[in-house]
Amino acid sequence: MRWTVGWSVASAAALALGPAEAEDSQSIPSALQAPEARATVQIAQAQTYGITYPQAQSPFERYKSYLAAKARSQGVREATIQSVIPGLQLNSRVMQLDHAQRPTPSNDDRPPSFAGYLERHITSSLINRGQSRYSSHWGNLSRIEQRYGVDPAVIMAIYGKETSYGSITGNFDLLEVLASLAYEGRRRTLFENEFVATLKLMDAGVRRYQLKGSYAGATGYPQFLPSVVLRLRQDGNGDGYADVWGSEDDAFASIANYLRDAGWKRGIPWGVPVNIPARLNRAAIQSRVHPTRCPAVFKRHSRWLTVAEWRTLGIVPGGRGLPDNELATLMETPGAYAPGYLLTRNYYAILDYNCSNYYALSVALLANAISAR
Ligand SMILES: [Ca+2]
């Protein structure tokens, strides 16, 4: 997962959470709320009066004690805590990158066209490399499809979008990233919980050198947050161990498991292209739901109707088609490959991975291209 500049990107396979403002910062002891100012005064006073402060701790050192206590209270082994927390350092580069990449959620409903984004994000290189891996991994992918019911082309497309097929998985020390992001405070509770989840992965036998990730705290081939790794990782190659850092097949099974967990339905496509009739009554198909999570993204979608109902409105499924009793929403996509798409619940499972229509539609169309549909 990552924040994508200029587009509304809220959740990774993982940041399936409310907006940053909703994050709870109240659980932080007040001594940690504004630590910089307090420490600066202490240091300044010490310098002025020539006093040495043998016990003076930096604000981050105090924060580390708090993190250790939090991990301990959640049952992380003391040996794990002691092997990580004393040596932790703030990573200012992570904080800079986080500042630079803050999303602008209001943008998702503004750009009138998908064309530019799709052109930049579904390149012939991404398609060709995806097709090649799709066929070389076909044996395992088809077993994964049997087991989870998830379209393996979508799994491959997510893998391509997230890491360029495993070539960019992030080299930051995950624990340092998460501690830095938590300390910075914008989404403190989220990142503290991810920090503790990472320690739990170590308790489960994952070595620290494997725990690398993006500056935003996503890790491994699927670019999951650590809590998602902990909850959903799967063994895809049958060696009995779920390794999302070293095994592509384990990553594919884990992505499939994520999508199934997010509501993927076996046997139907993510959506199909449609033409938009000249006299479509848009007011009549407007959604009456007001989602709390990424509302700008869902605002582009109509209400849910069955495919049979869509037909009566002149919206006829193209491509692979959809069963008449299947529910779908309509998203108009001027400038994309088709003027609109009927979207099934499977599109929403992709959105759960990363809540942006640009992300989800480009994954979906890349999947079509990979499997030559
Ligand atoms: Ca495995």
Compute, in angstroms, the gap from residue 232 CA to the centroid of ligand 1. Answer: 13
Compute, in angstroms, the gap from residue 155 CA to the centroid of ligand 1. Answer: 17
Give dist(CA 105, CA 192) in Å, integer: 23
Give dist(CA 282, CA 228) in Å, integer: 38
Tens digits of residue pLDDT in 275-331? 999 999 999 999 999 999 999 999 999 999 999 999 999 999 999 999 999 999 999
The pLDDT value given to residue 31: 40
Contacts of 299 (CB under 8 A, 6+ apart): 108, 109, 287
Per DSSP, helices labelled H in 6-150 are: 35-49, 59-73, 78-84, 92-100, 115-121, 124-136, 138-148
Compute, in angstroms, the gap from residue 221 CA to the centroid of ligand 1. Answer: 13
Q: Calculate the CA 86 to chain-centre distance.
A: 29
Compute, in angstroms, the gap from residue 129 CA to the centroid of ligand 1. Answer: 23
The tens-digit pLDDT sequence of the chain (373 residues) is 444 333 333 344 444 333 333 333 333 344 444 444 444 444 454 445 555 555 678 999 999 999 999 999 999 999 999 999 999 999 999 999 988 877 655 555 455 578 889 999 999 999 999 999 999 999 999 999 999 999 999 999 999 999 999 999 999 999 999 999 999 988 999 999 999 999 999 999 999 999 999 999 999 999 999 999 999 999 999 999 999 999 999 999 999 999 999 999 999 999 999 999 999 999 999 999 999 999 999 999 999 999 999 999 999 999 999 999 999 999 999 888 999 999 999 999 999 999 999 999 999 999 999 999 7
Q: What type of residue is 330?
A: L
The pLDDT value given to residue 91: 94
Q: Which residues are 166's β-sheet partners?
A: none
Compute, in angstroms, the gap from residue 212 CA to the centroid of ligand 1. Answer: 18
Compute, in angstroms, the gap from residue 233 CA to the centroid of ligand 1. Answer: 10
- SS3 category, 336: coil
Q: Calculate the CA 28 to chain-centre distance.
A: 26
Compute, in angstroms, the gap from residue 294 CA to the centroid of ligand 1. Answer: 34
Give dist(CA 169, CA 148) in Å, integer: 24
The pLDDT value given to residue 67: 98
Compute, in angstroms, the gap from residue 223 CA to the centroid of ligand 1. Answer: 17
Compute, in angstroms, the gap from residue 250 CA to the centroid of ligand 1. Answer: 5
Q: How many residues comprise the chain?
A: 373
Compute, in angstroms, the gap from residue 282 CA to the centroid of ligand 1. Answer: 49
Compute, in angstroms, the gap from residue 246 CA to the centroid of ligand 1. Answer: 9
The pTM of this model reads 0.84
Q: Which residues are 340's β-sheet partners?
A: 274, 332
Compute, in angstroms, the gap from residue 171 CA to the centroid of ligand 1. Answer: 22
User: Do residues 270 and 340 lie in contact, with contact meaning Cβ atoms separated by under 8 Å?
Assistant: no
Compute, in angstroms, the gap from residue 210 CA to the centroid of ligand 1. Answer: 15
Q: Which token pair is 288?
A: 């009456």
The pLDDT value given to residue 103: 60
Tens digits of residue pLDDT in 44-92? 544 455 555 556 789 999 999 999 999 999 999 999 999 999 999 999 9
Compute, in angstroms, the gap from residue 237 CA to the centroid of ligand 1. Answer: 5
Compute, in angstroms, the gap from residue 368 CA to the centroid of ligand 1. Answer: 27
Give dist(CA 221, CA 230) in Å, integer: 14
Compute, in angstroms, the gap from residue 205 CA to the centroid of ligand 1. Answer: 14
